[in-house]
Structure 1
Amino acid sequence: MNCTSLRRLAAVLLMLITVNALNVNLAQAEIKLPAIIGDHMVLQQGQKNPLWGWAEPGEKITVTVDGQSHSTTADNNGKWKVTLEPLKVGGPYEITIKGKDSVTLKDVLSGEVWICSGQSNMAWTVGSSNDADLEIMTANYPKIRLISVPQVGTQEPQDNFNGQWEACTPETVKNFSGVGYFFGRQLYQTLNVPIGLIDNAWGGSSAEAWVNRKRLEDEPAFKEMLEKWEKTEASYNHEQAVAAYNKRLDQWKESVKKAKAAGKAAPRRPRAPRNPLTGNHRPANIYNGVLYPTIGYGIKGAIWYQGESNASRAYQYRKLFPFMIQNWRNEWKQGDFPFYWVQLADFRSEKPDPADSDWAELREAQTMTMDALPNTGEAVILNLGEASDIHPKNKQDVAMRLARWALAKDYGVKVVHQSPRYKSMEVKGNKAILTFDHVGGGLDTFDVTTPIGFTIAGQDKKFVKANAKIVGGNKIEVWSDAVANPAAVRYAWADNPVCNVQNKEGLPVTPFRTDDWPGVTINNH
């Protein structure tokens, strides 16, 4: 290669280096936004809303919208944050974010924003719900906006996720949360304001996975649970688990060949191992990977459908569930925002005689949370479950019961929203007279006129089926000839209870027991 060629090569290399350096500098200076902040988003009306992102450290950032202008400087890590004054409901708005470069967010609306969270029954899609074909073809709501957060389990807080806001259409709604969409649609149809829905549900998740681990570590009640996880974290090796699985898989393949040759049924394929370290049960995994990137975004409140994965630890859930809610509220810094959940549905086989039930105890823990925290509410769905399917497909009625809470408590709509709830018991002879709160238009029954679902016991703690009679708008008389001196009454106390008491608006009576005798999950941590 001659000198001229070398000079040309050097010039080309210098140009490439210069362009590359320029690109690096441009990339450093580029304004970046998290996925939760983007085109088509909905900002919570009636309150100030934080916006944030990243730029070059020390770079001045100015955000303008609808006559507002807010300036700040990116910190040493390049992060910046401003807070918008409330925007008038409606839109669309354009938001300009200007530093060394400029980004314009388009088609931004101001309305009501709700988080749709929990496990698989919240994740259950519109496309898998009742009347999916009809629901999808009519889902043309350009002022309802949807965004979903992918499932990432990690112990490291994530600043961002892969997702984007989209207008509600038949194409975008199909794989969105059924409960979330039907809830949002009811709000939209009632309030006629834009609705933003954030779906971050993760099927099979445990409540402890949704909580900041440092906060869990500060609470003695969760010490035993965390110690178990620390042992798993120290000993589990996923590569070894995969290697062992592959060995079993090879053995299975040989067994299939032999079974086929012998004309016998093939054995069941072994299940591939799931890594508990990146899964949906490990404490704080979902908090860090799913919830954290959205914390601080302006919201009205949250709806929640979870508990199945914690049923075996129902007594612990009495503490854990309100602890989780309070953790969210503390970190969101929006005060005691509304938090409404779905009580576990009826599931598993119906049993002919009274028995202990971890699902009944979990329902009880959920109900107790209403007394532990303000601005909370429970949708009772004992009549919407399916015995053989943990995922009942009637998500429409589930969502309506949640929407009743929001409409009544947060939007001033006069509608019956809370299921009747046990208040007190008075014993007269061999009869227990129960008084209820929140009866709406009065106590009623479904299908047959006689109230069913009650059991009664004396001091021997042996429950038997009981007779019952509605004796007033808010009272029920319960008795059994087998119990001369009643000590306790239970209602709908089973995995899949046979029961029929409701108010005249069709909201089922909240399952309850008048006793506090130790349950089957009391020692499970």
Structure 2
Amino acid sequence: MVLQRNKPVPVYGKATAGASVKLIFGNQVKPGVAGADGSFQLLLDPMPANSNGQSLFVISGDTVEYKDVLVGEVWLCSGQSNMEYTMNRSAHWYKAKRSQGLDSLQVSQENNPAIRLFLVHRDLNKPSDRNKGWQKAESPWVGQFSAAGYYYARELQARLHVPVGMIAASVPGSAIEPWLPARPSAQNKDSVEPAGKFFSGLIKPLAPYALNGFLWYQGETNCMLNQREEYTQSFLLLIKSWRDLWNSSSLPFYYVQIAPFYYSQSKGKLKQNERSLAFFRAAQDKVLATTHHTARIITTDLADNLQDIHPTYKWEIGKRLAWLALDRTFHVKQVSQGPRINAVSYNNHQAVVNFANAESGLVAHDSSKIAGFELAGKDGKFYPATGMIMKNKYVQVSSPSVPDPVMLRFAWKEDAQPNLFNNAGLPAEPYSTGGAEVAD
């Protein structure tokens, strides 16, 4: 396994009621006594990263030895099928248009003993021969693991040069509600599964295992339920409740803004339109204004087939999440966000758009014209518009259908795949005048 560096590390379990318990790891020796119910918890002092495997001993009558224990970074990744999506599955699509991941042979040959993997299957509270505990990053375990989670670990380990332990707990097709603590107000008739099911079965049993943050890739199911404000509230509760489990309000929480897909063509109970995805993304992003140590990646460029809700570029997902952590958690020099519109002015029959996060410059891929913009006049009707990069730092936007624009949108449709990036290769963020408050 990997133990979290630079933090107190709880070691916990069951022994005979009232029995003495001794914990030994490296030069640390921690004595304690089991409680009336036999449970015990002892704390190891904070430790620096260590790539040399050591034995951890727990002694209470019998001796339990955990061998080859490393100290480094521990992260929990969770969500629905796009987070569960395995390395084996990803390998079938490694030859994608934008970039390439590991192919099947490379996945089978992965051997990185500095990365350790713990794959949680459905209910941690029930015995299962599939919960194998911690494994080294080698075959067959790499192939069965979350592709986004593994590529995250790969980038983090390569950049930080410390061991990385990844815990993956995801359920395909799950809505957000089962990942929340059970509460009466969560009983929503549109919930796919009862609130609290996965929180109590998959997440709660992992605490208080020391970790440094969370990765979340979920939302497609709730988007199909046409949720907006209710998703924001659920998302805020999820972030708070998971942090509360680990007794830390500052644990980083990094998530994925869901990718382009034809939600308007889906056959769900609730009819979607071409804007539903845009407003759902805005609902996702509302948590950024009220929660610290929270950030997200944009995926508008990572879908080759808008009929497939499972984009293939999990290597890009993992890398971009790692860039967030490198920049914001580890303060390593790394551009982690794409251009973000922060000011729009209107004059001479056009919009002038200024960006934050554009220090490395604005880039148009495959064309000199920027796709994905729309303009509206006072009548509120939006029409396609064209953008041109000016002086490498702002964009002029115009449309022959809107002589006097007063509102602007960017990437505000389910099929929007704009070609505006920064020099780090990160796409510009979706935007709408009025943000999530202006609905069609």
Sequence identity (%): 31
1:209 correspondence with 2:145: no
1:54 correspondence with 2:14: yes
| 1:329 paired residue among 202, 223, 243 | 243
- Cα drift, residue 459 of structure 1: 2.6
Q: 1:324 to 1:313 in 2, by over 3 A?
A: same
Amino acid at match of 2:46: P
Name the structure 1 match of 2:296.
378
| 1:456 paired residue among 358, 375, 394 | 375
Amino acid at match of 2:143: K
Unaligned runs of 5+ in 1: 1-40, 218-222, 230-275, 521-525
TM-score by length of 1: 0.75
Name the structure 2 match of 1:101.
62
| 1:292 paired residue among 204, 212, 218 | 204
**Cα pair 1:360 1:495 within 8 Å, conserved:** yes
The separation in 1 between residues aligned to 2:382 and 2:113, in whole angstroms, is 54
- Give the match's secondary structure for 1:168: strand
**Cα pair 1:116 1:199 within 8 Å, conserved:** yes
The separation in 2 between residues aligned to 1:483 and 1:206, in whole angstroms, is 40
Please list the CA deviations of residues 351-373 of structure 1 after superposition, one character each: whole Å capped at 9, or x if unmatched: 9xxx7422111222223322221
1:142 correspondence with 2:113: yes
Question: 1 or 2, which has the higher helix percentage?
Answer: 1
Name the structure 2 match of 1:187.
156
| 2:27 paired residue among 57, 64, 67 | 67
**Cα pair 1:126 1:135 within 8 Å, conserved:** no
Please list the CA deviations of residues 361-415 of structure 1 after superposition, one character each: whole Å capped at 9, or x if unmatched: 1222223322221111211111111212111222111111111111112223212
The separation in 1 between residues aligned to 2:439 and 2:212, in whole angstroms, is 36
Please list the CA deviations of residues 312-357 of structure 1 after superposition, one character each: whole Å capped at 9, or x if unmatched: 2033222221221111112211331111111111122899xxx742
- Cα drift, residue 159 of structure 1: 8.9
The separation in 2 between residues aligned to 1:350 and 1:59, in whole angstroms, is 61
Name the structure 2 match of 1:470.
389
The separation in 2 between residues aligned to 1:170 and 1:148, in whole angstroms, is 14
1:360 correspondence with 2:278: yes
Pairing 1:104-253 to 2, within 5 Å after superposition: 104-129=65-90, 130=94, 131-152=102-123, 158=125, 162-214=131-183, 217=184, 223=185, 225-226=186-187, 228=189
Q: 1:301 to 1:227 in 2, by over 3 A?
A: closer
| 2:259 paired residue among 335, 345, 349 | 345
Pairing 1:252-331 to 2, within 5 Å after superposition: 281-311=193-223, 312-331=226-245
- Cα drift, residue 473 of structure 1: 3.6
RMSD: 2.2
Q: 1:284 to 1:472 in 2, by over 3 A?
A: farther
The separation in 2 between residues aligned to 1:286 and 1:135, in whole angstroms, is 33
**Cα pair 2:10 2:43 within 8 Å, conserved:** yes
**Cα pair 2:263 2:277 within 8 Å, conserved:** no
Matched residues, number? 416
Amino acid at match of 2:313: N
**Cα pair 1:350 1:496 within 8 Å, conserved:** no
**Cα pair 1:159 1:293 within 8 Å, conserved:** no
- Give the match's secondary structure for 1:180: helix
Please list the CA deviations of residues 420-448 of structure 1 after superposition, one character each: whole Å capped at 9, or x if unmatched: 11212222242222221111411111111
- Give the match's secondary structure for 2:211: coil
Amino acid at match of 2:215: I
Unaligned runs of 5+ in 2: 95-101, 266-272
The separation in 1 between residues aligned to 2:330 and 2:38, in whole angstroms, is 39
The separation in 1 between residues aligned to 2:46 and 2:371, in whole angstroms, is 51
- Cα drift, residue 111 of structure 1: 0.6
Please list the CA deviations of residues 438-462 of structure 1 after superposition, one character each: whole Å capped at 9, or x if unmatched: 1141111111110111111123221
Question: 1 or 2, which has the higher strand percentage?
Answer: 2
